Amino acid sequence: MTERTIHALGEAYRRGDTTPTAVTEAYLARIEKFDGHVGAYLTVTREPALRAAAAADARHRARAPLGPLDGVPIALKDVLCTKGIRTTCGSKILESFVPPYDATVVARLAAAGAVVLGKTNMDEFAMGSSTEHSAFKPTRNPWDLARVPGGSSGGSAVAVAAHLAAGAFGTDTGGSIRQPAAFCGTVGLKPTYGRVSRYGLVAFASSLDQIGPFAKNVRDAALLLQAIAGHDPHDATSVAAPVPDYAAALDGRVHGLRAGIPREYFAEGVDPEIARAVRAAIETLRGLGVATEEVSLPTTGYALAAYYLIAPAEASSNLARYDGVKYGLRVPGGKDLIEMSSRTRAAGFGAEVKRRVMLGTYALSAGYSEAYYGRAQKVRTLVRRDFETAFARVDLLLAPTTPNVAFKHGEKEDPLAMYLNDALTIPVNLAGLPGLSVRCGFTAAGLPIGLQLIGKPFDEATLLRVADAYERATTWLAREPALP
C-alpha cells in the first residue's frame, strides 16, 4: 500500500478500495519498522496524523474530498514551522522549539487535506549536502545504508525513496532538494524563487531558499507543487504570477521543444558513469522529439565561490536571532546577556553552522563587504545573464544533477570537497530558476543517477512535462531499494 503513488491513492480513495486511515496506519507501521535503519524522521506525529486521516476518511465517504492530496500521508523537512509541533532545523539550539504558527506551505497542505506523518531529518539549518550534519543523527541512503542520502533535505528524500511517506517537502538553497533526490532516486523539484511562499521556512539564505516537493514520480510532484504554489501576502518576495494546472501539463507533448546542453556541466569532475547516463537520457528525449543543442554558461565555474559568500552572509544575519533570549536553547551561567548569548551559541550550533556564520560575518564586515559580498553579487548577476542568454535560444536545459553519486558516510570530511557536490545545482539558485531532478539510471554499483532539468522563470510546467514524458518512456522506476 505504501508503494502507491499519490495519484493512485486518490483513485483508490475515490473507489473506496482503501481509506486515508488505513494508508496512514500502513505508513506509520512501516516507519516503525524501517526508520530505525534509515533515520528519515526526527519527529513522528502519530496522533495528529491519525486524526487528520479520520477527517479525510469522512470527506471521502461523503464524496467531498478537498482535492488530490486529501488523505495523502506526507512528510515535512524539520525546517518548516508547524504550529504546536517541535521544529528543530536539525539543531541543538532549536531542539525544544515549538512554533506558535504554521508556515504558509504547511497551512496550504492542511487545507488540501494532506496528512502530516512527521518532521524529517536534515543538515543543521540546511547547511550541508549529506544529512550527516544533523545535531541528532545521520540519515542513511536506502539504496546503500553505508552511504549518505545527500542533503540538506536528506530525511525527506529518504522518506519518499523508502516509502515512509507518499510525498515530502524539502528546501533547496544550493541544491538541497535536487541533490538528495538524485542520490535517492526520487523526483525532486526546486520551484522558481518566488513561486512558493517562504513564510514559516526557517531561513538559511533568504535570497536563495525555496520550498519544493519530493515525489515517487513526476505526476505526484506536479500535484504536490500545485498545493503550495502561488502568491502569499506574508511573503513580499512571493510572486503574484498565475499558477498553471501542473497535472494538465503532463500531456506528453514534448515534440518540438528545444533543450540546451550546457557544456560546462559535463566538465572534468563529473563521474563518467553519470555523464554517460545523462547523455543517454538526452538521447531518449531526442527520440521523443526534443531538439537539443549545446549551449555555454561560461560563469558556471564562479558560481560556487559566489554562493559561498552570499549564502553564509545571509545565514550569519538570519541566525543572529538564536541568542537564548526568546526561545530554544539557553545556556545559563553567563555574567551578562552577551555572555549568555555567546555560551548558548557556542553550545547550540554545530561546527558547519559556526563555520558558515563566521564566513558570512567576515564577508559582510566593514572594509571587506565590497570585495566579498559585493563582488559575489556581481558574479550572481553574470550567472543570471548566462542563463538568460541560453534561454533566448532554448526552452530548458538538461544536465547532471550532481557530479557524483551518493558517497559513503564520513567520506567527505573536508568541507571544500563537500561544497563541490553542489557545483551543478548552485547556479540555478543564484539565478532563481526552477530545477528538477528525475531518476535517469543507476551506476554499476546500483546507485541512482539524477537528470537535472533547468527551466525559465515560472516555467515549472515545461520541466514537469518533459520529465514526465521521459519517465514514461523509461523503466527506471521499476527498481526499488531493498531495506533489511
Partner 1 sequence: MSTLTKTGWDVVIGLEVHAQLLTRSKMFCGCPTAFGARPNSQTCPVCQGMPGVLPVVNRRAIEFGIKTALAFTCRINPACRFARKHYYYPDMPKNFQISQYEEPLAEDGALEIDVDGASRAIGIQRLHLEEDVGKLLHEGTLETAQASLVDYNRSGVPLMETVSRPDLRSPEEAAAYLRAFRAVLVYLGVCDGNMEEGSLRCDANVSLRPRGATELGTKVEIKNMNSFRNVKLALEFEVKRQRQALAAGERIVQETRLWDADRGYTRAMRSKEYAHDYRYFPEPDLVPLEIERAWVDAIRAALPELPRQRRERFVRQYGLPPYDAGVLTQSRALAEYYEAAVREFRQPKIVSNWIMSELLRELPGDDERAIERAPVPPANLAGLLRLIEDGTISGKIAKDVFQKMVGSGEDARTIVAREGLTQVADEGALAAVIDQVLAQNPKAVEDYKGGKTAAKGALVGQVMKATRGKANPAIVNRLLEEKLSKI
- The residues binding partner 1 (CB under 8 A) are 80-81, 87, 89, 94, 97, 99-101, 103, 198-203, 205-207, 233-237, 313-314, 316-317, 320-323, 325-327, 337-338, 341, 361, 364-366, 369, 373
- Exactly one of 91, 152, 153, 316 is catalytic; name it: 152
Residue pair 254/290 in contact by the 8 Å Cβ criterion: yes
Phi-psi category of 84—alpha, beta or left, where left has phi over 0 and alpha has psi -120 to 50? left
Least distance to partner 1, CB of residue 346, Å: 14
Least distance to partner 1, CB of residue 191, Å: 17
Identify residue 331 by its one-letter amino acid code: V
Alpha-carbon gap, residue 415 to 330, rounded angstroms: 28
Active-site residue, 77 included:
yes
Residue pair 239/209 in contact by the 8 Å Cβ criterion: no
Q: Residue 279: enclosing H or E segment and its boundaries?
A: helix 272-287
The grid coordinates listed for 80 are: 518548516
- Exactly one of 130, 176, 197, 316 is catalytic; name it: 176
Least distance to partner 1, CB of residue 83, Å: 10
Q: Considering the complex, state which of residue 108 and residue 412 has its C-beta at the smaller distance from partner 1.
A: 108
Least distance to partner 1, CB of residue 357, Å: 12
Q: Considering the complex, state which of residue 237 and residue 474 has its C-beta at the smaller distance from partner 1.
A: 237
Strand partners, 435: 190, 454
Phi–psi pair at 175, nearest 5 degrees: 140, 5
Least distance to partner 1, CB of residue 179, Å: 22
Alpha-carbon gap, residue 137 to 131, rounded angstroms: 8
Residue pair 44/116 in contact by the 8 Å Cβ criterion: no
The three-class DSSP label of residue 403 is coil
Active-site residue, 176 included:
yes
The three-class DSSP label of residue 472 is helix
Alpha-carbon gap, residue 37 to 468, rounded angstroms: 31
Residue 433 to residues 34, 190, 367, 393, 466, Cα–Cα distance (Å): 35, 8, 32, 16, 16
Q: Considering the complex, state which of residue 124 and residue 323 has its C-beta at the smaller distance from partner 1.
A: 323
The three-class DSSP label of residue 212 is strand
Q: Considering the complex, state which of residue 6 and residue 303 has its C-beta at the smaller distance from partner 1.
A: 303
Phi–psi pair at 453, nearest 5 degrees: -110, 125
Alpha-carbon gap, residue 218 to 216, rounded angstroms: 7
Residue 33 to residues 121, 447, 484, Cα–Cα distance (Å): 17, 23, 10
Q: Considering the complex, state which of residue 206 and residue 443 has its C-beta at the smaller distance from partner 1.
A: 206
Q: Considering the complex, state which of residue 11 and residue 368 has its C-beta at the smaller distance from partner 1.
A: 368
Number of H helices, E strands in the chain: 15, 11
The three-class DSSP label of residue 198 is coil
Least distance to partner 1, CB of residue 176, Å: 16
Least distance to partner 1, CB of residue 51, Å: 24
Q: Considering the complex, state which of residue 49 and residue 313 has its C-beta at the smaller distance from partner 1.
A: 313
The grid coordinates listed for 458 are: 515560472
Least distance to partner 1, CB of residue 104, Å: 9
Least distance to partner 1, CB of residue 308, Å: 16
| DSSP code string of 294-354 | EE--TTHHHHHHHHHHHHHHHHHHHGGG-SSSSSS------SSHHHHHHHHHHHHS-HHHH
Catalytic residues: 77, 152, 176
